[in-house]
Every structure is written in C-alpha cells, then in structure tokens.
A = this chain, B = another copy of it.
Amino acid sequence: MDGFRFSTEVSVRFAETDAQGVAHNAVYLVWYEVARIDYLARFREGYRGLQADGLEALTIETHVRYVAPARFDERLRIHARCSEIRGARFRYDYAIERAGTAIATGWTRHAVVERKTFRPARFPAWLAEAIAQAEAWKL
C-alpha cells in the first residue's frame, strides 16, 4: 500500500461477523483503533505514555470506504499513517489489505484533551517529533 510505512495484522473474529456472513461495518473502526494503538506503541509507552501525561485522544471524525467484504478468519493487514498534526488535532489515514488488495480505506480525526476536563490540549512535542521522524515528514 503506497505511502504507508506502518501496518499491523488482525484476523476477522467470528463475533465480528454479522448475518450477511461478512465483517460488520462498525468493526472497521475498532480495527483502525487497534492500528493506531500499535502504531503509537513504537514510541515511549505509546498511548499509555499519552495517558501518563494526563491526556486522552478523542475521536472527532471517522470515515470508512468498504471496497470488498471481509469474512470470518481472514487475515487482514491494517496500514496506518499519521498524516497531520496541528495544535490539538491530528489525523490518521488507513488502508486494509487482504492478500495484496485494498478491501477498505478510510481516515479518522482526533483531538488531544486533558484527561480530567476534556479540554483541548497541545499534542505532546515528544510524540510529534517521534511521529515526524517515523513518517519522514519534511518539517
């Protein structure tokens, strides 16, 4: 998948299928989240490092395009990249691949907030730098 430097794998769980015999559309957002967590795990303590700073990342927008259905027990590769960080906000792009073919794409937008108040907070510098380097952004 062009432009992605990170990916992680999931298998379609039986509980994730529905009566159409395919993975339910809401599950893709869970897989995107799994990919974000795995993506961040490479930097310090990952998402738990963010929480240790007293922060949470809220999801403020999600988008999924379903190109071909996924079925029980299929092995999927979730490609993810952080494509923008600006103030409190950041964005991820995704492509879900099965055996070399993209079966879904999408993106999500997020806002960093203080854990206790849910007030916007600046994206942590240590994490922004680590991501910029991992994504080879020209800053």
**Chain A residues close to B by CB (< 8 Å):** 13-15, 17-22, 24-27, 29-30, 33-34, 37, 46-48, 56, 58-66, 69, 71-73, 108, 118
Do A73 and B48 have beta carbons less than 8 Å apart?
yes
Distance A2 CA – B65 CA, assembled complex (angstroms): 27
Q: Are B26 and A18 in contact (CB under 8 A)?
A: no
Which residue of B19, B25, B65 is within 8 Å of A19 (Cβ)?
Answer: B19
Secondary structure type dominating chain A contacts: mixed
Q: Complex: how many Å from CA A108 to CA B62?
A: 12
A73 in contact with B26 (CB, 8 Å): no
A69/B118 in contact, CB under 8 A: yes
Min CB distance A13 to B, Å, is: 6
A-B contacts, 29 of them at CB < 8 A, read A13-B30, A14-B24, A14-B37, A14-B47, A15-B29, A17-B19, A18-B18, A18-B19, A19-B19, A19-B21, A20-B58, A25-B29, A25-B33, A25-B62, A26-B26, A26-B27, A26-B30, A26-B33, A46-B73, A48-B72, A48-B73, A58-B66, A60-B65, A61-B63, A61-B64, A62-B63, A62-B66, A63-B63, A63-B64
